[in-house]
C-alpha cells in the first residue's frame, strides 16, 4: 500500500534519496542562547536519518531574522561548528540533510536583536511572538534598495556557511508569511518601486535570492519553499495568483533540486488558485514537487501514485516517531503526536 514511498528518487546528478519521505522543517526552539545547535539537536536529527531527506528546522541567516526564541543561526563561526556536529551525526547514520534558510521579516521582534524589524512595506502584522505572548509585533521598516542588496548577499553567505557546515544543500524558506513570502502577496507588499505593484516586480526579490544562492553553491544543491495560498500571518488577494504564475514560470527555467509546497493542511481550498496549493503547484511547476500538509503514509502514497506530487514531507509524526520511516515500512503502529512532546528533544 505504501511501497511507492520506498523507491529511490534522484533529485539530480548530485543527489539521490533512499526514499520519498522527507522530514519536514520543524521549529523546535532548542538552540542555546547564542543560537548554536546543541549536542541534543545532533542526537535528535541523527535518530531521524531514515528519512530520504531531512530538512532542518528553519535557520536564521542573520540576527534581525529572528522571530522565535532559541532558533538556531547560520551566521557565526560557532553556529557553523555546531551544525557540523548535526550534519556529521546524520551522515554517520546514512542520512542526508538540507538547511532551511530563514528570515522572518515583519514577524521578527527587537527583543531578540535590538534593532529595526525589516519587511517589504511598513505594514504591521497583528498578534504576538509564539511562545512569548507578552511580545507583540511592531511596525516594520520598509527595506531600502541597499537593505535588499545586503539581504540577498546574506542569503548567499548563509548557503555557503551551510555547505561549510556539512549540509547536503539548502532549502530557501520563501513560504508561510515570512520575508520572501511577504514580497509575494499584495496585502504585505505595497511598494511603489521595482519590488512592488506588478507580478514581475513582486517576484524580483525571491528570484534574486534564488539566483544568488544557486550561484554560491550550485543549483543542484538548492530548493525553495513557497506558499501561493496566503494562510499564515498573511491575508490572500486574488491578484496573488498572477505573482506566483510569473514566479513559477521563471523557476521552471532554473533546475532546482525541488520545489516544496508551504501549507499546514493541504485540504485547504483557495479560490484564486482553483483549489489546493499542491494541485496548483503541480499544474504550474515542471520539476520535482514536495507535497506537505497533514498527509499520512497512506494518503501520501495515493497522492504520489496519482501524480499530485513526487515526494512527501512529514512533520509532527517525526516528532513523535524518530523511527517513523521504519515503522511505516514494516507496517508498525505510529505513535500519535501530542503537544507535550514539544518540551523536549528525543
Contact between residue 310 and residue 5 where contact means Cβ atoms under 8 Å apart: no
Residues in the chain: 346
Answer yes or no: 137 catalytic: no
**Strands (DSSP E) found in the chain:** 9-10, 16-17, 21-23, 53-60, 97-102, 118-119, 128-129, 132-136, 141-142, 169-174, 222-226, 259-261, 289-291, 311-314
Catalytic residue among 44, 155, 178, 324: 178
Contact between residue 52 and residue 22 where contact means Cβ atoms under 8 Å apart: yes
**For 21, phi and psi rounded to 5 degrees?**
-95, 120
Contact between residue 346 and residue 322 where contact means Cβ atoms under 8 Å apart: yes
Contact between residue 188 and residue 123 where contact means Cβ atoms under 8 Å apart: yes
* Residues assigned a catalytic role: 178
Amino acid at each position: 500500500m505504501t511501497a511507492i514511498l520506498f523507491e529511490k528518487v534522484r533529485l539530480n546528478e548530485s543527489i539521490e534519496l533512499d526514499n520519498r519521505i522527507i522530514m519536514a522543517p520543524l521549529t523546535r526552539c532548542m538552540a542555546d542562547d547564542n543560537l548554536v545547535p546543541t549536542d541534543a539537536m545532533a542526537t535528535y536529527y541523527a535518530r531521524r536519518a531514515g528519512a530520504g531527506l531531512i530538512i532542518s528546522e528553519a535557520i536564521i541567516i542573520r540576527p534581525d531574522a529572528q522571530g522565535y526564541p532559541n532558533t538556531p543561526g547560520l551566521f557565526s563561526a560557532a553556529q557553523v561548528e555546531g551544525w557540523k556536529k548535526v550534519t556529521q551525526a546524520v551522515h554517520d547514520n546514512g542520512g542526508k540533510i538540507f538547511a532551511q534558510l530563514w528570515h522572518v521579516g515583519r514577524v521578527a521582534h527587537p527583543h531578540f536583536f535590538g534593532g529595526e524589524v525589516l519587511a517589504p512595506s511598513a505594514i504591521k502584522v497583528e498578534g504576538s511572538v509564539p511562545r512569548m505572548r507578552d511580545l507583540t509585533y511592531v511596525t516594520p521598516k520598509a527595506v531600502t534598495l541597499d537593505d535588499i542588496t545586503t539581504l540577498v548577499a546574506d542569503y548567499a553567505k548563509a548557503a555557503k556557511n551551510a555547505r561549510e557546515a556539512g549540509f547536503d544543500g539548502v532549502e530557501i524558506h520563501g513560504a508561510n508569511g515570512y520575508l520572501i513570502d511577504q514580497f509575494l502577496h499584495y496585502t504585505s507588499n505595497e511598494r511603489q518601486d521595482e519590488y512592488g505593484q506588478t507580478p514581475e516586480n513582486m517576484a524580483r526579490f525571491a528570484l534574486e535570492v534564488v539566483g544568488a544562492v544557486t550561484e554560491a553553491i550550485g543549483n543542484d544543491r538548492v530548493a525553495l519553499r513557497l506558499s501561493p495560498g496566503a494562510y499564515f500571518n498573511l491575508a490572500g488577494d486574488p491578484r496573488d495568483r498572477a505573482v506566483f504564475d510569473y514566479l513559477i514560470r521563471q523557476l521552471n527555467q532554473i533546475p532546482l533540486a525541488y520545489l516544496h509546497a508551504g501549507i499546514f493542511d493541504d485540504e485547504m481550498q483557495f479560490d484564486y488558485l482553483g483549489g489546493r496549493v499542491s494541485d496548483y503547484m503541480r499544474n504550474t511547476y515542471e520539476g520535482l514537487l514536495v507535497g506537505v500538509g497533514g498527509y499520512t503514509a497512506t494518503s501520501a502514497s495515493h497522492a504520489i501514485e496519482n501524480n499530485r506530487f513526487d515526494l512527501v514531507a512529514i512533520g509532527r509524526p517525526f516528532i513523535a516517531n524518530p523511527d517513523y520511516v521504519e515503522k511505516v515500512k514494516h507496517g508498525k503502529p505510529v505513535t500519535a503526536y501530542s503537544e507535550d512532546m514539544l518540551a523536549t528533544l528525543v
